[in-house]
A = this chain, B = another copy of it.
């Protein structure tokens, strides 16, 4: 699947998706239900399971989340690789990020 840089920016534009990444950064490899309940507990985000699932799809399309199936369970892992050099294009030439 080809990931465009615009997908990454768009994925990061939503606060709920950024919180999902926060949560996965703290505890990687959670299932959809785990993410839902923890978002509610810790952040007061009361979106439905389907809403979170759709957010995870957007994050996966951006390459920021990778998934692994195991039976009934689907585990979600953060992948920070698309964040590399994401904003480098707007820095003054010759400057290191």
Contact = CB atoms under 8 A, between A and B. Distances in A.
Interface residues of A, number: 21
B10 A13 contact: yes
Contacts of A15: 6
A86 B87 contact: yes
- How many copies of this chain? 2
A87 B18 CA distance: 10
Contacts of A91: 25, 80, 83
Interface of A: 6, 9-10, 12-13, 15, 18, 21-22, 25, 64, 78, 80, 83, 86-87, 89-92, 97
Contacts of A87: 12, 80, 83, 86-87
A28 to B, nearest CB: 9
